């Protein structure tokens, strides 16, 4: 056994960070080892086979790697190839559960079953909020947009991380403290204030992007890179809609994003009439789940056309379901 320290690589979002903190504490309790941690970025998938060659590592809330000493994830798209899929079987160091709303509950359950550890109150609270945030189980659109609970302040602060390694210091906070204490840290509070201003600006800038609203479907074009975006702005301004479909810019082009309104879901039978966003997006080279999905058409004109077609498909499904 090598004596180099173990590094936990984690997805750079709220549930990924909680996952890193939970695993770091669980490993220290079960093996006495104090691992380090660092967030993974998507560019590191490029040469996934060679990832951290010769080093000891764990991965949480991110793609499966056969050399990971410990690995836990809930993403259905975790396996980058069939060959990698074939290398996975659950064991005392790896667990994948695509039905879990977020990753931390998988690790807490695993630590209990395999390492005999009862989850602490602190980590149970973090796991609860990981589920809320990752599966968009906010009680209302107001909570999603303006929620001031510690977990939600941290979630929003993460949207304006001052440096790429800042999240590592927030994980250090999660290892030691509860959510209220992490959210009260001066750097987290400062980021939260800045992120809240961005949110207010985004909410203000949304209405002029709306192209139309028909049959409880809203279509918008936020392709200008001068527009700030807020994930739930459409449902905040239009709580009566069932779906929003829009065009947004990406680093290298444009993205069509579609989603069900979590606080005003479409009738159950709409799905039988074709309202499955992931399936619709697959026709345009994209994907997703029933309730949310997207595609990246090659040009802005294509993105606008795809958004209109997807919105029309959803309208038709809703009309059929009435």
Helical axes 14-31 vs 121-134, angle rounded to 10°: 150
**Span between the terminal Cα atoms of the chain, in Å:** 64
* 66: number of Cβ within 10 Å: 12
In angstroms, what is the minimal distance from the CB of 15 to Mn ion? 4
Pick the closer one to Mn ion by CB: 40 or 275: 40
Pick the closer one to Mn ion by CB: 16 or 262: 16
Distance CA 179, CA 154 (A): 8
* 227: number of Cβ within 10 Å: 17
Distance CA 275, CA 266 (A): 9
Pick the closer one to Mn ion by CB: 16 or 286: 16
In angstroms, what is the minimal distance from the CB of 11 to Mn ion? 4
Q: Is 11 in the site for Mn ion (CB under 5 A)?
A: yes
- 43-47-51 Cα angle (round to 5): 90
Pick the closer one to Mn ion by CB: 16 or 297: 16
Residue 322, token pair as written in the block:
């009435």
- 231-232-237 Cα angle (round to 5): 135
Pick the closer one to Mn ion by CB: 262 or 266: 262
Distance CA 55, CA 69 (A): 10
Total site size for Mn ion, rule CB under 5 A: 5
The contacts of residue 112 (CB under 8 Å, 6+ apart) are 118, 119
Binding piece for Mn ion, criterion CB under 5 A, among 4-12, 91-99, 138-146, 306-314: 4-12
Binding piece for Mn ion, criterion CB under 5 A, among 53-61, 92-100, 139-147, 312-320: 53-61
Q: Is 15 in the site for Mn ion (CB under 5 A)?
A: yes
In angstroms, what is the minimal distance from the CB of 59 to Mn ion? 12
In angstroms, what is the minimal distance from the CB of 260 to Mn ion? 20
Distance CA 123, CA 18 (A): 8
Kindly write out the interface string for residues 58-87 of this chain, putting x where it contacts Mn ion by CB under 5 A and - elsewhere.
Answer: ---x--------------------------
- List 6, 10, 12, 16, residue binding Mn ion (CB under 5 A): 16
In angstroms, what is the minimal distance from the CB of 125 to Mn ion? 18
Pick the closer one to Mn ion by CB: 101 or 119: 101
In angstroms, what is the minimal distance from the CB of 176 to Mn ion? 21
Binding piece for Mn ion, criterion CB under 5 A, among 16-24, 152-160, 192-200, 306-314: 16-24
Binding piece for Mn ion, criterion CB under 5 A, among 57-65, 118-126, 243-251, 268-276: 57-65
7-11 vs 36-40, strand pairing mode: parallel
Closest of 203, 206, 173 to residue 188, by C-alpha: 173
* 79: number of Cβ within 10 Å: 17
Residue 27, token pair as written in the block:
């490993």
Pick the closer one to Mn ion by CB: 14 or 220: 14
Interface residues with Mn ion (CB under 5 A)?
A: 11, 13, 15-16, 61
């Amino acid at each position: 056994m090598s004596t180099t320290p173990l590094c936990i690589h984690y997805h750079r979002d709220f549930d990924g960070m909680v996952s890193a903190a939970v695993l770091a504490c669980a490993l220290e309790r079960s093996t006495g080892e104090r691992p380090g941690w660092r967030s993974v970025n998507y560019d590191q998938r490029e040469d996934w086979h060679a990832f951290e060659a010769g080093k000891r590592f764990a991965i949480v809330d991110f793609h499966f790697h056969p050399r990971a000493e410990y690995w836990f994830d809930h993403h259905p798209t975790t396996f980058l190839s069939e060959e990698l899929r074939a290398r996975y079987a659950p064991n005392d160091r790896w667990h994948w559960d695509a039905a879990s709303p977020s990753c931390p509950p998988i690790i807490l359950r695993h630590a209990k079953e395999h390492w005999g550890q009862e989850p602490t109150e602190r980590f149970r609270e973090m796991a609860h909020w990981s589920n809320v945030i990752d599966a968009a189980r906010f009680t209302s659109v107001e909570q999603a947009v303006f929620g001031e609970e510690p977990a939600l302040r941290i979630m929003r602060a993460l949207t304006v991380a001052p440096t790429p390694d800042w999240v590592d210091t927030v994980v250090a906070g999660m290892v030691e403290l509860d959510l209220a204490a992490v959210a009260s840290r001066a750097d987290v509070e400062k980021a939260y204030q800045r992120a809240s201003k961005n949110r207010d600006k985004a909410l203000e800038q949304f209405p002029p992007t709306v192209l139309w609203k028909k049959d409880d479907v809203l279509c918008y074009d936020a392709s200008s890179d001068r527009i700030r975006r807020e994930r739930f702005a459409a449902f905040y301004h239009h709580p009566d809609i069932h779906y929003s479909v829009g065009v947004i810019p990406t680093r290298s082009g444009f993205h069509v994003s579609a989603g069900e309104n979590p606080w005003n879901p479409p009738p159950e039978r709409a799905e039988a009439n074709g309202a499955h966003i992931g399936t619709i997006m697959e026709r345009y080279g994209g994907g997703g789940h029933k309730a949310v999905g997207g595609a990246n058409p090659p040009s802005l004109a294509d993105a606008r056309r795809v958004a209109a077609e997807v919105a029309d498909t959803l309208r038709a499904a809703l009309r059929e379901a009435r």
